[in-house]
Amino acid sequence: MSEAAAALDPEEALLWQSLKSDGSSSAREQLFVRHAAFARTIAAKLHRTESRGDIEIDDMRQLAYAGLLEALDRFEPARAIPFRAYALHRITGSIRDGLSRMSEVREQITWRHRMRRERAQSLSEAAVPSAGSMDDAMAQLAEIAVGLALGFMLEGSGLLEASDEGSSESRSQPTGYNTTLWNQMLRDLRSELDRLPGQQQVVLRTHYIDGVGFDQIAHLLGVTKGRVSQLHRAALALLRKRMDKRGHFHLER
C-alpha cells in the first residue's frame, strides 16, 4: 500500500475500493460530495484571479465539478499521491480549458438560467395537455409553481454556505424573509430532504445545494439526463406532498 493510500481515513479508503473494484455509483456519489467543497474552493480562487469580472462564479463551479468528476474516474488510489493533489491539476485544467473556450461574446443565458430552464422543463413534462376542466389546468399550473418555489427555497436555504463555512441560519436569506415562519419552513424542508429516497435525494442535493447541472448529475449517477429529470420531478412532488402535510404550500382543490 502506498503512503497516499495509507493516509486515507478508513471510510474513504473503503469508498475508493468500492468505486475502483465494483464501479459503485453510491461510492462515487459519496466521494464527489466529500471533495465538492475542495473543487468550489479552487473555483473561487480562480474566479478572483482569472475571471476579469466577466465570468460568473456558478460557471466556474461547473467547470470545477467537471474536473472533479474526471479526477474521480482517472485516479488510482495505489499511486503515491494524495487524491486532492491529483485532483487539483484536473480541476484547475478543467476551469482554464473552459475559460479559454468562452468567447468575448458570451451566451446571454448564464449557467444558472439554463439550470432553472431545465427545472421548469422537468416539472412541466408531467403537465400533459388534456381535455380536463379549467380547474384541472389551474391545479397543474399551481403544482408546477409550487415545485419551482421549493427549488428556489432549496437553492437559497443557506445549506451550501453552512457546509463550506460553518453554519449560519440566515446568512443567505433576505432580511425581509428572516421570520419565524420562514425559518420553520426551511427547517421542515431540510428535514424532508433528508428523508427522500436515495437517488432522489442525491439529485436535489447536488443540483440545488451544490449547483450541479442535470448533464453532470447524469454522468455522476450513470443514468440518462432524462432519468435525472424524472428523479428531479418525482423528488419535488414528494417534497410538496410532505410539506403540504406539515401545513406548507397547501393547494386548495
Q: DSSP assignment of 172-195, as one string?
A: TS-GGG-SHHHHHHHHHHHHHHHT
Band the pLDDT of 253: cuts 50, 70, 90. very low
pLDDT at 108: 47
Backbone angles phi, psi at 79, to 5 degrees: -65, 150
Nearest partner of 232 among 124, 112, 122, 155, judged by Cα: 122
User: What's residue 143's pLDDT?
Assistant: 66
Read off the pLDDT of residues 147-184 as tens digits, 9 standing for 90 and up.
Answer: 777 777 777 654 444 444 444 444 444 444 457 877 88
Per-residue confidence at 188, pLDDT binned at 50, 70, 90?
confident
In whole angstroms, what is the distance from residue 65 CA to residue 51 CA?
17
Amino acid at 192: E
| Predicted pLDDT of residue 100 | 79
Residue 103, CB half-sphere, CA atoms under 13 Å: how many?
4
pLDDT at position 171 = 43
Mean pLDDT of 139-146: 67
Distances (CA, A) of 119 to 36, 80, 246: 22, 42, 24
Q: Determine whether 24 is exposed, middle or buried from the number of CB atoms within 10 Å of its CB (0-12, 13-18, 19+).
A: middle
DSSP 19-87: HHHH--HHHHHHHHHHHHHHHHHHHHHHHHHH-TT-S-HHHHHHHHHHHHHHHHHH--TTSSS-HHHHH
At position 203, the amino acid (one-letter code) is: V
Q: Tens digit of pLDDT for each residue in 192-250?
A: 888 999 999 999 888 888 888 888 999 999 999 999 999 998 988 888 888 888 887 65
Alpha-carbon gap, residue 83 to 87, rounded angstroms: 6
Q: What is the pLDDT of residues 15-62, one digit of tens each?
A: 999 999 999 999 999 999 999 999 999 999 999 988 777 678 998 999
Residue 122 has pLDDT above 70, yes or no: yes
Mean pLDDT of 63-68: 96
Q: Which three cell numbers stand for residue 202?
A: 442525491
